[in-house]
Amino acid sequence: MIEFIAGGLVVTCMVLAICCLFLYVRKNKIKFAWWKWALSIIWLLYTDISVAFLSTTIGENELGATLRGGGAFVAIAVVTGIVLFRFVILNKGGKKRDA
Amino acid sequence: MENEKVNPSVQTNPESKGPELSRRNFLKLSAASVGAAAVVTGAAAAGVAGYANATDRRTATGWETETGDEEYFDRKPFEVSKPTNRVVGPTRNIEYLSPAQYRRNVLSRFFDVPEGMAFADYLRTVADVNNLEATPFSIINNPDLVKYYQDMLDREGWNFFAEDLRYFLEVLPRRTRILAETEFDLTLAKAYVNGHYYLSGYHLSRISKESDFEGVSETKYDVRDPAEMTRLIKKVGRMYGSPIVRIVELNNDFAYDRCPQESRGYTFGEPLNIPSHWKYGIITTYPLSWETIVASPHAGASQEGYAYVAVTDEKLSTFIKQLGYSARPNDRQHNYEYVLPPLAVLAGVGEQGRLSSCVTPEFGAHVRLGMVVTDLPLVPDKPIDFGLQKFCQNCKICAENCPSGSISFADKPREINGRGYEGWPINTATCSNFWYETPNPTMGCRICVTVCPFTKRSNWIHTAARDVAVRDKTGISASMLTWMERAFYGTHDGEYYKYVDGSREYNVVKEMPWFFKTGDFFVEPS
């Protein structure tokens, strides 16, 4: 049961995060092409899967997989998250759409 | 004041005590904050879901019984007309002398052992104990055995005679020492496994050459539709505890040429005349418990699966006999006329892997097989191809982990043992010897079965990985998953598992389960 509740929460939070991103780009008048939406959604999915991998390997008592696999996945999620936010969402140096 | 820069996001209300956000910026900030919170909460929830899934008993294997209508893997899209272990030459039966353990049980008969002399003592007088490989076949008085040994030597380069001698002269004496020093540590493991043996004598006593028709109902109805009968048998088989039930049309290539041991009403070496009324085999399966298989090779045993599958076979045989048709179980506790893995491959239970066992797409290699032969009209299932041959060509983890070096590293499968079928050869003599060189009271080792990447828990990670691997025809994801298996989960070389005499340390695939740790429950006598 807890898997279903947590799974529902994951989906809800993803939808909420996407809605917030939508609001953010609208209020900031940021030009947001379809591929930026795609990248953002993929990053969200990847991050959730990485955290789920980390906790699953803890749950199955595979410490090596937690440290090596989970660690690598989460590190990649953090780095790509920073890159995504800095250069894609904030669009530093890019164009803003017309008001 | 003229030069003072004004932050456009902060407006000063003359009536208020400090700066305040504009509505627009409040919304921006709110969106960013709530978005960030949603990302963190979502990730945390994913973590909780993953942990809950991993610790859920249902994601461990070994419980999948009485499942009702559905198998755990839809084989339909993977069905093919011919099995992936192809016929590449003239086929023949399996030699009755090929099962190493059965052969060794009767080996003393093939030598002129003086009366009253122990077999091992006799061998010390005739074999070159410092170089067992050099012992001539001429001391054997059975031409079938000489031919078998010579064939294996010529074909594979394996001296099974030397390995059999090593079994009697080195392995068994060492085993006696190992069992004595590890007896206390493995008391619980031994007791647990022996619990599974409790019906084995009973099962065997029910089988004879005529037992197919014993207890068969006098009333026999004609089957309306063999396809519907197949559906019924699969349903009942699953309700009797087999998560996979498949039908095979019997292929006598996979029967022994003669009886490999005295059982089922046969004497040793008696020709096995397969009755003409045997038409179909109903393949049954039982996965071993995940908790015990990860203690391979030093604890746990295949009897866990064999015991359950024998009960299923007994029930299924009785069910069929009640309908007026003949039935006879073939499984470890009832013994066999047939070798089951190739028949299971024919029935589409799985494919034959590098480790030579039948590897299933949902449980990997750690299922134990049974079969009920019958004349009940049924429709045979098709074999399946879920890409295992290609996967095994690249993987080789089982071969790397094998302590006795019995599994081939060859890239491609080839014709094996002169039987006309393709596969990867297994040195059964060295394999069997290692079983006895573990402290496992009921014999090791099952390492290959346990480390196979298809043998994993059924949580979301491994289920998803298996589902992707079997559907990606390019083999890229299979290579990637094998790499991840090595890099993340880690593997060992064979040396890691070898017991060091006197150490009382047990290097197993994962960990010894808590319920096998005798010292936590009993006081060791000093």
Largest CA distance in chain B: 120
Task: Tell me how close the Cα of B33 comes to any Cα of chain A, in angstroms.
Answer: 8
**Average pLDDT value over all residues in chain B:** 90
* Contact between chains at A61 and B41 (C-beta distance less than 8 A): no
What is the model's pLDDT at position B6? Answer: 47
Q: Is residue A45 part of a domain?
A: yes
What is the signed CA dihedral for B15, B17, B18, B21, rounded to 10 degrees? Answer: -50
| Alpha helices (H) in B56-109, listed in sequence order | 100-105
Contacts of A59 in chain B (CB under 8 A): 50-55, 459
Instruction: Print the domain residue range for A50.
Output: 2-89
Out of B27, B42, B511, name the one closest to residue A10 (CB).
B42
Contacts of B27 in chain A (CB under 8 A): 23, 27
Which residue of chain B has the CA closest to A66? Answer: B488
Contacts of A14 in chain B (CB under 8 A): 38, 42
Total domains, chain A: 1
* Contact between chains at A20 and B461 (C-beta distance less than 8 A): no
Q: Give me the residue spans of the domains in chain B.
A: 65-94+183-520
* Contact between chains at A17 and B42 (C-beta distance less than 8 A): yes
Which residue of chain A has the CA closest to B456? Answer: A60
What is the model's pLDDT at position B38? Answer: 82
* Contact between chains at A20 and B35 (C-beta distance less than 8 A): yes
Q: Is residue A69 part of a domain?
A: yes
| Paired residues of B244 in beta bridges | none
- The phi and psi torsions of B330 (rounded to 5 degrees) equal -125, 105
Q: Is residue A98 part of a domain?
A: no
What is the model's pLDDT at position B19? Answer: 55
Calpha distance B79→B361 (Å, rounded): 12
3-state secondary structure (DSSP) of residue B465: helix
Calpha distance A47→A72 (Å, rounded): 12
Q: Is residue A96 part of a domain?
A: no
Residues of chain B falling short of pLDDT 70: 1-21, 23-24, 26-28, 60-69
Q: Is residue A22 part of a domain?
A: yes
Surface-to-core class of residue B526, CB atoms within 10 Å of its CB (0-12 exposed, 13-18 middle, 19+ buried): exposed
pLDDT digits (tens, 9 = 90+) for B387-434: 999 999 999 999 999 999 999 999 999 998 889 999 999 999 999 999
Buried b (16+ CB within 10 A) or exposed e, B403-422: bbebbbeeeebebbbbbebb
Surface-to-core class of residue B21, CB atoms within 10 Å of its CB (0-12 exposed, 13-18 middle, 19+ buried): middle
Q: Is residue A10 part of a domain?
A: yes
pLDDT band at A6 (very low <50, low <70, confident <90, very high): confident
Q: Is residue A21 part of a domain?
A: yes
What is the model's pLDDT at position A98? Answer: 47
A82 at B interface, C-beta within 8 A: no
